[in-house]
Structure 1
């Protein structure tokens, strides 16, 4: 199991979660390292709403099975669309993705600050389809808005976590989506 170095030696982190499959091995790794995550599910980018609900219910199922706290962020797809307006034709890993990550991680940072967390991270950094540079940039920008808050730039792709994700996907029979979530990534 990957040995983690949590900023400031924290034992409690807010984990922004995009879905159960991506979260599963990360949560398991955190728990193995005596770090208790609170899962923050904030994904207004997911479209259609039915897809969002399926992904959310799978995340809740996994988190509740482990006895962890799950926070359901607001689903406001219209607000998300306003945030990325003019970037609809951008390619994957383009400006739209950076803006999407920034929007979602700023909401995560806001929640973390209000609820007494000093460290937050994201499962977005587990996907080989996403740019780590964009994710880490978005996280750092979000954290700057809140004093005493650190974005934990952890590459969740390494240490066997990708392989373990695939095992847990089968073990829990997770719904496994085939696109990022937004209507533009379905192309």
Structure 2
């Protein structure tokens, strides 16, 4: 991949906790970080994914990619019932609506908490690579998450530019990744129907 733009984590961090939603979304981001001297530790926190079999498929693909690159992956507990409680009342919201905001907040809060407990000073997320998600909503959720956890910075990086979308497509083909057709939650599937 050509380095079309420079990435630098806050405070020059060389180790970052990367909240990861799936292998396709994370692939080019991870590669880019590594090319810039940053080691991501993959944090798989996705209680929103439904059904559980879908969760496992996506987790297995993330694990396969992490293993191929010699990276650590941390699997957060799958607690879909807790996630359902978190988004209760927002089931009929559209994509980029209130349900998505609440979902981002929950997952990034857990990421920030894990960061503090395990000595990370910077977090970011692969959610920012998806054209279906609002960068503003994700960044706001990330800023709120780190505000509750002093010592952790939110890395606000637009992972859609610099050729990363094209590189993502190439890596998906190269690894033969399972590439899902919905964000993960049952409500996003129903909205598409």
TM-score, L = length of structure 2: 0.96
Question: Per-residue displacement from partner, 1:92-143 (whole Å, max 9, x unpaired)?
Answer: 0000000000000000000001000000000000000000000000000000
Separation in 2, partners of 1:70, 1:7: 22
Residues 129-144 of structure 1 correspond to what in structure 2 (within 5 A)?
Answer: 129-144=132-147
Answering whether residue 41 of structure 2 is matched by residue 38 of structure 1, we say yes
Answering whether residue 176 of structure 2 is matched by residue 170 of structure 1, we say no
Partner of 1:160: 163
Answering whether residue 32 of structure 2 is matched by residue 24 of structure 1, we say no
Residues 71-86 of structure 1 correspond to what in structure 2 (within 5 A)?
Answer: 71-86=74-89
Partner of 1:15: 18
Separation in 1, partners of 2:178, 2:151: 37
**Length, aligned pairs only:** 187
Q: For 2:170, what is the secondary structure of its paired residue?
A: helix
Answering whether residue 3 of structure 2 is matched by residue 5 of structure 1, we say no
Separation in 2, partners of 1:112, 1:156: 21
TM-score, L = length of structure 1: 0.99
Separation in 2, partners of 1:145, 1:65: 34
Cα displacement (A) at 1:5: 2.1
Answering whether residue 68 of structure 2 is matched by residue 65 of structure 1, we say yes
Contact 2:8 2:36 in 1 (8 A): no
Partner of 1:120: 123
Q: For 1:130, what is the secondary structure of its paired residue?
A: coil
Question: Per-residue displacement from partner, 1:125-172 (whole Å, max 9, x unpaired)?
Answer: 000000000000000000001111101011100010000000000000
| Structure 1: 4+ residue segments shifted above 6 A | none
Separation in 1, partners of 2:96, 2:79: 22
